[in-house]
Amino acid sequence: MTPDANPDCYTESMLRATVGSGEERDEEDEGEEELRDGGVPFYVNRGGLPVDDETWERMWRHVARIHPGGEALGKKIRGVTDLPKIPVPSVPTYQPTTTIPQRLEAIQKYIRELQYNHTGTQFFEIKKSRPLTALMDIAKEMTREALPIKCLEAVILGIYLTNNMPGVERFPLSFKSHFSGNHFYHIVLGVHSGGRFGALGMSRREDLMFKPLEFRTLMDLVQGFEGAYRGYWHTLRKVKIGQYVSHDPHSVEQIEWKHSVLDVDKLTKEELKKELERHTRDMRLKIGKAAPPSPTKDRRNSMGSPLRGPGSPMRRISRVEKRKSLNPELLPRRRKMAAHCSSGMG
């Protein structure tokens, strides 16, 4: 095995190298790290779906820049009039006798079948400050569109697909690693059930996403990921762990992404173990606390869109108007092209 600079989802090495306008930059607490992929900044589709013409053309220009055969790849895919049909994965369904570990494996299989997004444009905009109900709406859209995704999108999708499993607690688990002068970031969805820990997620690397529900402690789970990073010559520098996420899909709570921030390289093994044990206790305490009530249907309607703060301007063009403005015959073809583009760059 040779060193690989890109074992996970994104890196900060090219953060200051802008691509296009300043709209691609977010504040750190909004997850600025998800704007970099393998050393190259990537775009986020902020206009919703279907993808508007400007974003669509920008994506292909970006593909031409970041892929060695990008321009040729783009011409090859875009020049085909009858692209092969892309199989659409089915959202997992279960029998009453299906065990929790089997259900989690089925969810991970579904996430993997969506494929990792190599296009350089993230199709679903994930703002970490949004309430859970808004993020769950985005997750529903992911299942409808069945487009390739990145690791942060996989975390939101994993929460959505486990909401109906009250015996499974979910929490965000993110990593910062170092390799060859660069810092890399990655995030998965930690899961806890039956006294065991595991994880769901999306990555280029098999051992940096799914972890079966077999780790006795949070320390064991973190060490499992640390060992995977070592296999790619990465040094794990920091681990951020959030709180348990509500199972109420209509909750207006925000996800607590980083309840504990641990400098792994500065802590002894015993100190790290104690910090992770403390965090585990904090998560257990959260279960006993009553979550704020979700708004009723009438109140939700009066609140307006959860995606827009009271001081935010209205969108100039609604999604309905966008759908009308685009040729509907182009939409299935664009989905195929996006999927083929991602596969061709993988």
pLDDT digits (tens, 9 = 90+) for 284-321: 988 756 555 555 554 444 444 444 444 444 444 444 44
Please report the pLDDT score of residue 86 as a whole number: 85
For residue 35, give Cα distances in angstroms to 16, 25, 113, 152.
Answer: 11, 7, 23, 11
Reported pTM: 0.80
- Quote the pLDDT of residue 84: 87
Residue 263: predicted pLDDT: 96
The position carrying tokens 């990792």 is: 116
Question: What is the spatial distance between Cα 26 and Cα 127, in angstroms, rounded to a whole number?
Answer: 9
User: Which stretches of the chain score pLDDT less than 50?
Assistant: 1-5, 10-34, 38-39, 298-325
How much is the pLDDT for 81? 82
Q: What is the pLDDT of residue 289?
A: 60
Apex 247 CA angle, 245 and 248, nearest 5: 115
Residues with a known catalytic role: 151, 186, 203
Q: Is the torsion defined by CA of 10, 13, 14, 15 positive or negative? A: positive
What pLDDT was estimated at residue 305? Answer: 40
- What residues have CB less than 8 Å from 252, skipping those under 6 apart? 131, 132, 133, 292, 294, 295, 306
Can you give the pLDDT at residue 32?
38
Half-sphere exposure of 213 (CA within 13 A, CB side): 20
**Phi, psi values for residue 71, rounded to 5°:** -65, -45
- Per-residue model confidence (pLDDT) at position 212: 97
Q: What's the pLDDT score for residue 178?
A: 92
DSSP 293-336: PPPPHHHHHHH--TTS-TTSPPPSS-HHHHHHHS-TTHHHHHHH
The two tokens of residue 59 are 């994506």
Cα separation, 90 vs 2, in Å, equals: 36
